[in-house]
Structure 1
Amino acid sequence: MRSIGEMGRASGLGVSALRFYDRTGVLVPARVDPVSGYRWYSPAQLQEARLLARLRRAGMSLADIRLVLAGWSNADKDLVSELLQAHLRRLERELSDARTEFSALRELLTHRENALASTRTTTLRLTVPAPELAGALDAVRFAVSADPELPMLGGVLFDVEGEVLRVVATDRYRMAVAHVGAGGSGGSAAQAIVPAPLADAMRALLSGEEPVRLAVDGDRVTLETADGQASGLRLDHDFPDHRRLVRLPAGRRALVDAAVLRDAVESGPVRATEVRDPDGASCDLSVLKVTEDGAVAVCADGDDDPDQVAVNRAFLLEALAAGGREELILEFGVPTAPIAIRRPDDEGTFSLLMPVRLEP
């Protein structure tokens, strides 16, 4: 017999998912301890659990999964085959429909004027305080994407608007924004995506206290300091409109001691999930909530508070470290909205973490 934790690790289903499938009657444990309530699964159920995990990843509905598992347990090969073929045909129809919609979308994009096209030939020279630019890069670097399928997210956006330089990074699951005062733009606006290696080279030069010079000249971005120069081509892509992505519903705010919360996350309860991270590996979750006294707590397994929010634990720890302050503000909206991590003295520099569903 396997415990629910052992079953989760062996099957690829998270503990929360196994509890959900128990409650819905899809995969009921072979035995439940009447005293402790612990769930135990028989060896034969491991194959069913692995099959269930694959069917869910293939997008099959729970109603059809029930029938597949029933046919599987009765060795009804014809029933299982018919259900799988019907689901495959449904997926193929949906893919065909999606291709049609994407073709129409490409036509719209082709004929739509690109508001950023003119920035490809922009020449702009700024003066930026070195410590502020260093702090801005430190605050956002952790959120740069490493997904080769999304090259437009593989760098740091330098977004100049008037006397403000905003530095932005996102990998879809999190986003970080920082801002720096900039002089010399003359009120101009420009954007450039600085590749991650070039951004790192720029950061390595920002060790002094003197202002540095940042230039955008067509497709080239250059940083000049007293210690040297870092220059290279910007990414030839358009970055998502980060201003639209930060429009969050009003929520509860909690002031936290960053070190204390990091310790609580590192040592506190962790939940596994069948949701996959960008690298294809399962991720651990930390589940947070605001208590009645205004503190942020890491929820124990089994806490059913409807306002709790689950986030990728590693992403949360990186965002707390990148916050760069002893105290930070955590802002919670509805459980399906991102968590915002802000600086009390500089709310223009912040991180957003996308929530993760606890149940399928």
Structure 2
Amino acid sequence: MRSIGEMAQDSGLSVSALRFYDRAGVLVPAWVDPVSGYRWYDPGQLDEARLLARLRRAAMPLADIRLVLAGWSGADTDLVRQLLQAHLRRLEGGLSDARSEFSTLRAHLDHRENPMTSLRTATARLSVSAPGLAAALDAVRFAASADPELPMLGGVLFDIEGEALRVVATDRYRMAVAHAGTTGHGGPRVQVIVPAPLVDAMRALLTAEESVQLTVDGDRVTLLAGDRQAGGQCLDHEFPDYRRLMQVPAGRRVLVDVPDFRAAVRTGPVRTSDARKQDGMSCELSVLGVTADGTVTVREDGDDDPHLVAVNRAFLLDALTAGARDKLLLELGAPTSPIAIRRPDDEATCSILMPVRLDG
């Protein structure tokens, strides 16, 4: 007999997916320990599990998967072929519809007046606290994207409005926002996307000066620190509306001791998921839950609590480090709601992490 862990490793299905398909009656284990509830599979079920994994990756509906598996085990090849062909036609039809809708959307974008254009062609000259800007960049830099397919996310947004400078970075799976106080800017709102290498060059200058000068002139941005400067051209793209992205559903707020919680995440159990890949590799997930006394814990793989929230472990560790506090607020909502990590003394500086579904 194969344990559920062995079955997951050999089939390409996660443990949580195997549990899901057991509850759905699609792939039922050969034996379940009546005391521990642990699932065991017959060796002959491995082929069905591998077939199920392929159908799952092809986004076949659960009802059709059930019929394919029934036809497969009964050697009804005609039924299986018909189901596969019907699903392929649906996928092709859906792709055709998506192309048509995207073509329409692109046409709307081409003809739409873009109010952000003025934000990216304005000028601004302001003084910024060097320690404040350094702390702000440290709080967001980890979330900048390295995906060449999304060049508009390959830097940090500098959003200048009134006496505030907000810096924002996102790679779709996570977003970080921080701010620094400024003086000297009395003009309209200005936004520029500073490329990641230039952000790093600016950060390197923020070591000794109390105040630095930030200048935006159209598509160029320059940071002057004493007799040193870093400057270059901004990215010619539009950044997503981060204010809208920050509107996450309210969840349960828990104050965590960062050193202890970081150690628990680093040494705690993980799940491996293909649901979300970074740099072409599957990510390790930390599964978080809140106990009755308000403690955030990293749960074991066998926990079937429906309120658990899974998150990319590396992203969570990065966000805890970027929080730069011994105490941070974790806001956990539904399993499908983003996780917010905030500073208790400065909630405007926060990280938002997208969860990963565990239900297969």
Give TM-score, length-normalised by structure 2. Answer: 0.95
With 114-123 and 10-19 compared, the bigger mean Cα shift is at 114-123
Distance 1:351 1:112 in 2: 32
1:283 equivalenced with 2:283 (yes/no): yes
**Where does structure 1 lack aligned partners over 5 or more consecutive residues?**
none
**Retained in 2: the 8 A contact 1:156–1:167?**
yes
Shift of 1:102: 1.2
- Distance, in Å, in 1 between the alignment partners of 2:252 and 2:323 is 19
Matched, 1:324 2:324: yes
Match of 2:300 in 1: 300
The corresponding residue for 2:205 is 205
Q: How does 1:206-225 map to 2 (within 5 A)?
A: 206-225=206-225
2:175 maps to which residue?
Answer: 175
* 1:223-255 deviation line (CA, Å, top 9, x unaligned): 121262211211111000000011122322111
SS in 2 for 1:215: strand
Aligned residues of 1:248 and 1:333 also touching (Cα < 8 A): no
How far apart, in 2, do the equivalents of 1:65 and 1:273 lie?
Answer: 21
Give the corresponding residue for 1:71.
Answer: 71
Give the structure 2 partner of residue 120 of structure 1. Answer: 120
Deviations 1:2-38 (A, max 9, x none): 3211221222211110111112121122333444433
Q: Distance in 1 between matches of 2:49 and 2:7?
A: 8
Root-mean-square deviation (CA, aligned residues, Å) is 1.7
SS at match of 1:283: strand
Indicate the SS of the match to 2:49.
helix
Q: Tell me the distance in 2 between the aligned counterparts of 1:227 and 1:298.
A: 49
1:349 maps to 349
Match of residue 161 from structure 1: 161
Paired residue type of 2:284: D
Higher mean alpha-carbon deviation, 219-228 vs 153-162, is at 219-228
Give the conservation status (yes or no) of the 8 Å contact 2:276–2:356: no
Residue 185 of structure 2 is matched in structure 1 by 185
The answer for unaligned runs of 5 or more in structure 2 is: none
Shift of 1:302: 3.5
Aligned pairs for 1:120-139 (under 5 A) are: 120-139=120-139
Distance 1:262 1:25, change over 3 A: same
Q: Give the SS at the match of 2:37.
A: coil
Contact kept? 1:287, 1:310, Cα under 8 Å? yes
1:60 maps to amino acid? M
Q: Please give the per-residue CA displacement for 1:325-346, whole angstroms capped at 9, x wherever unaligned.
A: 1111111233321111001111
In structure 2, distance between residues paired with 1:45 and 1:14: 15
What is the CA–CA distance in structure 1 between the aligned matches of 2:253 and 2:226, rounded to whole Å?
42
Say if 2:124 and 2:187, in contact at 8 Å, map to a contact too: no
Post-superposition Cα deviations, 1:205-224, rounded to whole Å, max 9, x if no partner, equal 21114211111111111112
Partner of residue 51, structure 1: 51
Output the CA distance in 1 between the equivalents of 2:114 and 2:196: 24
Pair 306,2 (structure 1): closer, same or farther in 2 beyond 3 Å: closer
Distance (Å, rounded) in 2 between the aligned partners of 1:308 and 1:229: 48
Distance 1:92 1:5 in 2: 35
Q: Which moved more, 1:108-117 or 1:166-175?
A: 108-117
Please show how residues 212-251 of structure 1 align to structure 2 within 5 Å: 212-226=212-226, 228-251=228-251
SS in 2 for 1:113: coil
Question: In structure 2, the residue corresponding to 1:182 is in which secondary structure?
Answer: strand
Seen in structure 2, the aligned counterparts of structure 1 residues 102 and 89 have a Cα distance that, compared at 3 Å, is same
Equivalent residue pairs, number: 360
Task: Give the AA of the match of 1:252.
Answer: R
2 CA distance for matches of 1:324 and 1:129? 18
Q: SS of the counterpart of 1:98? A: helix
For residue 146 of structure 1, what is the aligned residue in structure 2?
146
Give 2:27's aligned residue: 27
* Percent identical: 73
Partner residue, 1:260? 260
1:69: Cα distance to partner? Answer: 1.6
Contact 2:221 2:234 in 1 (8 A): yes
Deviation of 1:265 (Å): 1.1
Judge conservation of contact 2:216–2:222 (CA < 8 Å) in 1: yes
Structure 1 runs of 4+ off > 4 angstroms?
none
Mean CA deviation greater in 7-16 or 82-91: 7-16
C-alpha distance in 2 between matches for 1:183 and 1:330? 32
Alpha-carbon distance, 1:358 to partner: 0.9
TM-score for the superposition, normalised by structure 1: 0.95
Amino acid at match of 2:266: E
Pair 1:97 & 2:97 matched: yes
Contact kept? 1:16, 1:273, Cα under 8 Å: no
Distance in 2 between the 1:201 and 1:50 partners?
A: 49
> For residues 8 and 146 of structure 1, what CA distance do their matches in structure 2 show?
31
Q: Deviations over 1:297-349 (max 9, x none)?
A: 22233334343222111111111111001111111233321111001111110
Distance 1:35 1:249 in 2: 39
Q: How many angstroms apart in 2 are the aligned matches of 1:234 and 1:164? A: 20
Judge which range, 138-147 or 182-191, deviates more: 182-191
